[in-house]
């Protein structure tokens, strides 16, 4: 304490009639009050410098905003008063008693703990800048897991330094003890270690990115990846619920990643219409003429009819052969119409695989499978487009003399009772 201040206080003590013990106690109280005022002023000044002056000097940038949001500037402003306390205690408090040691140890422990907190804030800043400035790279290779691992080590070291500062012992002894307990630590932090290794595997092989659409039925997860941490992957499901999946499950278990859908030129449609086999027949002349009037089908019909009319005995065919002669079928014409109809739609990706095929007959009919890609990959639009396509095909199928196979039930149980003869579904031979 300053000699002038001591002499001033000594005069006050004499007038108040303080004893020597009371003067000693009063000196410490006055010194602590003065030290608290100085610390308060320094704290306000450092807060203004770090939280207001520096952002204004450097301007509004991605770094200054990230430093402010992560708490790095606020924490740095708090450590300045603690440093001043540690430096001023030996010269501000009278004597060298226990009070000086307590304040020194407390300020040193605060500096150690806050230093770890500041470095953790800086790591959060790096992560924020990485995600904002390098968005594509952040989705492809997230670093949050690595940041979390480094922060864990920082907090462990900070905790050790805080304990050694309060106990006034060397940190080497505690670190040596931790080394001896490494087996126990491996058991305690098993999930962290496994998660860290799994995160490296996922990042190095580019298996999962933020924003990927993931499907993991085992965990009931089907949605977009929101976050990737050291231990888990957070997924927002289509029903807006949140599923947290252990990160090592993406290495040990199978999952479906729909990233290829976003990168492709279209979204696949693979659906079948089940045709009643009893409704399949050869086209009569009247039916062929009527179908030839359909603009989308006229080219196909004229071409096929010309091919049929041009066939003769030299081709091994006879025009008057009702069974094995060259004839068109209604299902073949329907397939040709579907192909022409899909090719006429601008929403169909014409440069991607495209096929309309018949699959093996089943008890529910002949599956007529449509395999194509929709150029609009937005889920709502995609569902509307394919619904419109199949609505049209189901409505137009009657024009080809075909019927869709459907299990009888509801208000029409005549199939089960045998009251509705199958001949009602056979083609009319009068027009043949």
Which value, to the nearest 10 degrees, does the dihedral of the CA atoms of residues 99, 100, 105, 111 take? 120
Q: What is the pLDDT of residues 110-164, one digit of tens each?
A: 888 888 888 888 888 888 888 777 767 666 677 777 777 788 788 878 888 888 7
Q: Which helix (H) or strand (E) holds 265?
A: none
d(CA 251, CA 91): 60
Pick the residue with more confidence: 384 or 36? 384
The pLDDT confidence band at residue 425, using thresholds 50, 70 and 90, is very low
Of residues 89 and 334, more confidently modeled = 334
Instruction: Assess contact for 266 and 352: CB atoms under 8 A.
Output: yes
24: helix, coil or strand?
helix
Q: In this structure, what are the phi and psi dihedrals at residue 414, rounded to the nearest 5 degrees? A: -65, -25
pLDDT at 370 over 80: yes
Split at pLDDT 50, 70, 90, the class of 270 is very high
- Pick the more confident residue, 80 or 424: 80
Query: To the nearest whole number, what is the mean pLDDT of the chain?
Result: 77
The alpha helices in 98-189, defined as continuous H runs, are 98-133, 135-140, 144-167, 171-180, 182-188
Q: How crowded is the C-beta side of 135, counted as CA atoms within 13 Å?
A: 2
Helix (H, G, I), strand (E, B) or coil at 167: helix
* Rounded Cα gap, residues 409 and 166, in angstroms: 82
Instruction: Report which of residues 26 and 415 the model is more confident about.
Output: 26
| Percent of all residues in the chain with a pLDDT value above 70, rounded to a whole number | 73
Which residue is listed with tokens 């965990």? 219
Q: With 90 as the cut, is the pLDDT of residue 387 above it?
A: yes
Q: Is the pLDDT of residue 263 over 80?
A: no
Strand-strand pairing, 355-358 and 256-257: unpaired
Gap between the Cα atoms of 344 and 389, Å rounded: 12
pLDDT at 91 exceeding the cut of 60: yes
- Measured torsion, CA atoms of residues 263, 265, 270, 271, in degrees rounded to the nearest 10: 120
Domains assigned to the chain: 3-186 (no CATH), 203-263 (2.30.30.60), 267-431 (no CATH)
pLDDT surpassing 50 at residue 54: yes
Between 401 and 432, whose confidence is greater? 401
Helix residue ranges, H only, 346-378: none
Give the E-state strand segments of 251-365 in sequence order.
Answer: 256-257, 267-275, 355-358
Give the 3-state secondary structure of residue 357: strand
């Amino acid at each position: 304490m300053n000699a002038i201040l001591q002499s001033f206080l000594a005069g006050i003590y004499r007038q108040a009639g303080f004893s020597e013990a009371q003067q000693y106690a009063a000196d410490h109280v006055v010194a602590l009050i003065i030290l608290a005022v100085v610390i308060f002023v320094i704290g306000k000044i450092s807060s203004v410098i770090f939280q207001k002056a520096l952002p204004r000097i450097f301007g509004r940038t991605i770094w200054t905003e990230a430093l402010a949001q992560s708490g790095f500037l606020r924490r740095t402003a708090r450590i300045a008063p603690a440093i001043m306390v540690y430096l001023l205690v030996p010269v501000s408090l009278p004597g060298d008693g226990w009070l000086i040691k307590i304040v020194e140890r407390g300020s040193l422990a605060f500096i150690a703990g806050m230093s770890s907190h500041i470095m953790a804030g800086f790591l959060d800043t790096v992560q924020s800048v990485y995600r904002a400035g390098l968005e594509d790279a952040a989705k492809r290779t997230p670093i949050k897991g690595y940041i979390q691992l480094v922060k864990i080590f920082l907090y462990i070291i900070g905790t050790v330094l805080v304990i050694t500062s309060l106990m006034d012992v060397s940190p080497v002894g505690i670190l040596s003890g931790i080394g001896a307990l490494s087996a126990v630590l491996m058991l305690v932090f098993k999930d962290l270690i496994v998660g860290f290794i799994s995160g490296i595997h996922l990042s190095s092989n580019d298996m999962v990115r933020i924003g990927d659409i993931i499907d993991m039925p085992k965990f009931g997860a089907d949605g977009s990846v929101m976050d990737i941490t050291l231990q888990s992957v957070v997924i927002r499901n289509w029903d807006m619920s949140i599923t947290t999946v252990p990160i090592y499950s993406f290495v040990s278990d199978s999952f479906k990643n729909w990233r290829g859908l976003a990168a492709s030129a279209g979204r696949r449609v693979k659906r079948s219409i089940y045709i009643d086999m009893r409704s399949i027949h050869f086209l009569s002349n009247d039916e062929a003429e009527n179908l030839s009037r359909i603009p989308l089908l006229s080219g196909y019909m004229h071409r096929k009819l010309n091919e049929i009319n041009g066939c003769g005995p030299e081709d091994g065919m006879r025009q008057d052969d009702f069974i094995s002669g060259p004839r068109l079928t209604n299902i073949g014409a329907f397939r040709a119409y579907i192909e022409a109809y899909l090719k006429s739609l601008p929403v169909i990706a014409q440069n991607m695989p495209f096929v309309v095929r018949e699959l093996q007959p089943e008890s529910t009919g002949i599956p007529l499978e449509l395999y194509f890609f929709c150029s609009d990959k937005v889920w709502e639009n995609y569902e509307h487009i394919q619904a419109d396509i199949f609505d049209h095909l189901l409505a137009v199928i009657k024009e080809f003399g075909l019927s869709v196979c459907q299990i009888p039930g509801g208000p029409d149980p005549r199939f089960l009772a045998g009251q509705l003869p199958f001949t009602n579904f056979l083609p009319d031979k009068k027009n043949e």
